[in-house]
Amino acid sequence: MKVLLVAGARPNFMKIAPVYRASRKYTGVLCKIVHTGQHYDQDMSHTFFADLNIPDPDYYLAVGSGSHAIQTAKIMTAFEKVCETEQPDMVVVVGDVNSTLACSIVAKKMLIDVSHVEAGLRSFDLTMPEEINRIVTDSITDYFFVSEPSGVENLSREGKRSDKIFLVGNVMIDNLFYELERLSREDTKEFPCVHIKERLRKYIFLTLHRPSNVDSQGTLQRITLALNEISHETPIIFPVHPRTKKNLSNFNLSLSRNIHMLPPLSFRESLFLWKDAVLVMTDSGGLQEETTALRVPCVTLRENTERPITVEQGSNIIGGISKETIWDAYQRAICREKNKYPIPDKWDGKASERIWEVLTDQRNL
């Protein structure tokens, strides 16, 4: 079975990496990696892929940025050529970026089976481009690989066949445990961020990058005011996304001295910091899941989440985007004890293995 694994942005590679690594256990499976280049990232070097223990992509489509329509169209045109060349038996897409949507459509129109990893997640917020991508992708998917029970419920409600829905666990957690084990063997004294961690000892780890948060001056200002106030009680370590840094400057917004700004970090440097934080504040979907798996309290800087199990398990609080709601969520979260939350079923680092067990069984390999 020839399979194309599709990734469009840096976080996607964290999801396909364990899927690719697990595929090597099956002699009847040949996986090729397609990087659409949806997000250009200068750190996407050979070292990056070596760190994930996956080869450089077999195809780099270099579609670059643009409006949703332009980007989706460019991905579809380029990916169609890859499918014509490779004639794959299956296309595996992950998550909810434009590449997920575009490559699913191309595959389905070429009568190639589509597997969606992280299928069924819903925020029920149609103003989010990611929500549109999730719904459309799942409308044409053949195999649904689901990370949490809400995904099964959503897909069932939408009329998907129960024999094509598989609750396998979370591939992000596969990669998290893999990298956590590697981190345990690494000399972290060489990390540039080690000094600030040792100096602060008790700190909040923050990420903020979602366009709906950082592209709106009013929203970013409200979030900034809350963070500045919080930092007077608990210092914050903040690796700043380039988009956020640009807009903080454009909107003339200043951060407290107690918010320690860092350049973007590698996955393991970031993990090195947040795993020991007293609290994580984020608008990232993946980090909501990863903090749940390591039982670190989290405040989500959004008004909703497509990962409700993180809230149900107790590790995550929806903080909203106003100064008052963020402050309230912080006050509730900072009092919570770490390591007191149950870990969701099948978030055990073996989701990728379950995916291949299903696919090879379905294909009689």
Residue 340 is assigned to a structural domain of this protein: no
pLDDT band at 180 (very low <50, low <70, confident <90, very high): very high
Q: Do 151 and 20 fall into the same domain?
A: yes
The reply to whether 82 and 212 lie within a common domain is no
- pLDDT at res. 287: 96
- How confident is the model over 321-353, as pLDDT tens digits? 999 999 999 999 998 877 788 999 999 999 999
Residue 38, pLDDT > 90, answer no
Whether 24 and 135 map to the same domain: the answer is yes
Q: Is residue 44 predicted with pLDDT exceeding 80?
A: no
- Residue 13 sits at the vertex; the CA angle it makes with 9 and 14, to the nearest 5 degrees, is 120
Residue 47 has pLDDT above 80, yes or no: no
Same domain? For 184 and 165 the reply is: no
290 & 213 share domain: yes
| 260 tagged catalytic | no
78 in the same domain as 134? yes
* Domain assignment of residue 51, yes or no: yes
Q: Report pLDDT for 45.
A: 60
For every residue of 320-348, DSSP letters joined together read -SSHHHHHHHHHHHHTSPTT-SPPPTT-S
Residue 43 confidence (pLDDT) above 70: no
- What was the pLDDT predicted at 94? 98
**Does one domain contain both 74 and 159?**
yes
**Are residues 43 and 144 both part of a single domain?**
yes
**Tens digits of residue pLDDT in 98-116:** 999 999 999 999 999 999 9
Lowest mean pLDDT among 30-44, 45-59, 237-251: 30-44
How many domains, in total, are found in the chain? 2
Stretch 284-311: mean pLDDT: 96
CATH number for the domain spanning 34: value is 3.40.50.2000
Is 216 in the same domain as 289? yes
Judgement on whether residues 152 and 205 belong to the same structural domain of the protein: no
Strand, helix or coil for residue 2: strand
Mean pLDDT score, 349-359: 97
pLDDT in tens, 138-148: 999 999 999 99
Range of the domain at 27: 2-169+347-362
Integer Cα distance of 333 and 279 in angstroms: 7
Q: What is the mean pLDDT of residues 302-315?
A: 96
Q: Which of 209, 232, 241, 260 is catalytic?
A: 209
Q: With 70 as the cut, is the pLDDT of residue 42 above it?
A: no
- Distance CA(5)–CA(309), nearest Å, equals 27
Residues 352, 330 within the same domain: no
Spatial separation of the C-alpha atoms in residues 151 and 164, rounded to whole Å? 13
DSSP 279-305: EEEE--HHHHHHHHHTT--EEESSS--
Helix H segments across the chain?
10-23, 46-51, 68-86, 98-109, 129-139, 149-157, 171-184, 194-200, 211-214, 217-231, 242-250, 267-274, 285-293, 309-312, 323-334, 351-362
What percentage of the chain reaches a pLDDT higher than 90? 87
Mean pLDDT calculated for residue range 168-174: 98
Q: For a pLDDT cut of 70, what percent of the chain falls above it?
A: 98
pLDDT at 46: 67
pLDDT mean over 13-40 = 92
Average pLDDT over residues 26-38: 93
Query: Residue 339 falls within a domain, yes or no?
Result: no
Half-sphere exposure at residue 260, Cβ-oriented, CA atoms within 13 angstroms: 15
The string of pLDDT tens digits covering residues 218-268 is 999 999 999 999 999 999 999 999 999 999 999 999 999 999 999 988 888
Give the model's pLDDT for residue 41. Answer: 60
What is the residue-averaged pLDDT of the chain? 94
**Do 137 and 185 fall within a single domain?**
no
Least confident of 10-19, 26-35, 41-50, 152-161: 41-50
